[in-house]
Amino acid sequence: HLPPLIKRSFHTLHGPPDSSQEVGTEDIPSCGPEAIRVMQWNILSQSLGQKHDNFVACPEEALDWRTRRWKMLEEILIYKADILCFQEVDHFNFLKKTLGALDFSGTFFPKPDSPCYYIKGNNGPDGCAIFYNTNKFELIRTETRVLEVCTCQSNQVVILCIFRRKLDGREFCVATTHLKARQGTLLATLRNEQGKDLLEFIQEHYDGRPVVIAGDFNAEPTEPVYRTMTTCLEPRLDSAYAYYSNRYGEPPYTTWKIREEGEFCQTLDYIFFRKDSLELESLLNLPREEDIGEDRAPSFRYPSDHFSLVCDFCFK
């Protein structure tokens, strides 16, 4: 008798005004063969969520793995994305098995010194993962990197995959990362350096292909790393969710939680894309404040403190 997941709607960017449709979880249409639907989601590590995060308004039972994992899977599957970019994955085998049965294949790359290691009864390190629909795409190659700051390895990682679409043989590059958390000028500088290293890594591997970089950047749009991501690669990257409202600007939140220190309503997650080669077609709306509820997230209605971002791209 758990409450249903929060319902969200897609909106089309070039359609008639108010083409935004509220859809039941049963009837969200897939994006069609010409488009590529990408999901970005910090799924919340099971160990960190239960033992480290201190979500004071979240009932303990809502974090119980035996039920939370099915909510997680439901959130992943209802939007019918082709490419899934995840952070804080500490149950890769569960995802590999369940998504594998639905024709997804995936790669996992752990953080070198995951904070999960320090939690009693942990399920291994957390890290990033990319899954893709094997009916639609073929994996050409995967590259991974531990992000460096001033030539020293940090504790943050990136996975990059090069895919070929089976329909027409067109290739593209998808990367995902989870940058260093917590606030402060020093850490904002660290994230910016990680962003620069991430772009160098992309530069090394994308070889002229269209690029999508999805992640939990742990940085508000005002932080230097956001500017780095949108100006330092040539050809330029743009942020998909900057097209969320009519005026160019990121959504008001991608994560909303209550910790002992207070409430955190922040925009930290992004899907960057090469705008010279990809056309953004539609975006999944963020949940409304009244649907999230006063206790914010995670909750019985939503299994992570970060909301998933989903968008459709077409090749230009």
Site stretch for ligand NDP (CB under 6 A), options 17-25, 112-120, 159-167, 243-251: 112-120
**Interactions with ligand NDP, residue window 150-179 (CB under 6 A):** 155
Q: Which phi and psi (to 5°) does residue 154 adopt? A: -100, -170
- Helices (DSSP H) in the chain: which residue ranges? 46-51, 65-78, 92-100, 185-205, 224-231, 289-292
Hunting for tokens 């508000």 — which residue is that? 220
Q: Does 115 bind ligand NDP (CB under 6 A)?
A: yes
118 contacts ligand NDP (rule: CB under 6 A): yes
Do the bridges between strand 269-274 and strand 35-42 make them parallel or antiparallel, or are there none, so unpaired? unpaired
Residue 164 CB-density burial (10 A; 0-12 exposed, 13-18 middle, 19+ buried): middle
Map tokens 């900057």 to a residue.
242
Residue (88 or 312) nearer to ligand NDP, CB: 88
Q: Smallest distance, Å, CB 42 to ligand NDP?
A: 5
Tokens of 57: 């308004």
Residue 228 found at the interface with ligand NDP (CB under 6 A): no
- Given the complex with ligand NDP, which of 210 and 221 has the nearer CB atom? 221
| Residue 84 vs 278, nearer CB to ligand NDP | 84
182 binds ligand NDP (CB under 6 A): yes
Q: Residue 88, interface with ligand NDP (CB under 6 A)? A: yes
Contact between 56 and ligand NDP per CB under 6 A: no
Q: Which is nearer to ligand NDP, 218 or 267 (CB)?
A: 218
Binding ligand NDP (rule: CB under 6 A), the pick from 8, 111, 196, 296 is 111
75 closest CA partner among 99, 107, 58? 99
Q: Closest CB to ligand NDP among 207 and 260?
A: 260
- Binding to ligand NDP by residue 140, rule CB under 6 A? no
What string of DSSP letters covers 171-214? EEEEEEEE---S-SHHHHHHHHHHHHHHHHHHHHH-TT--EEEE
- Give the residue, chosen from 6, 28, 43, 48, that forms a contact with ligand NDP under the rule CB under 6 A: 48
Q: And the tokens for 276? A: 């010279």
Answer yes or no: are the C-beta atoms of 47 and 123 closer than 8 Å.
Answer: yes
Q: Does position 64 bind ligand NDP by CB under 6 A?
A: no
**What does the binding site for ligand NDP look like in residue numbers (CB under 6 A)?**
42, 48, 52-54, 88, 111, 113, 115, 118, 155, 180-182, 216, 218, 259
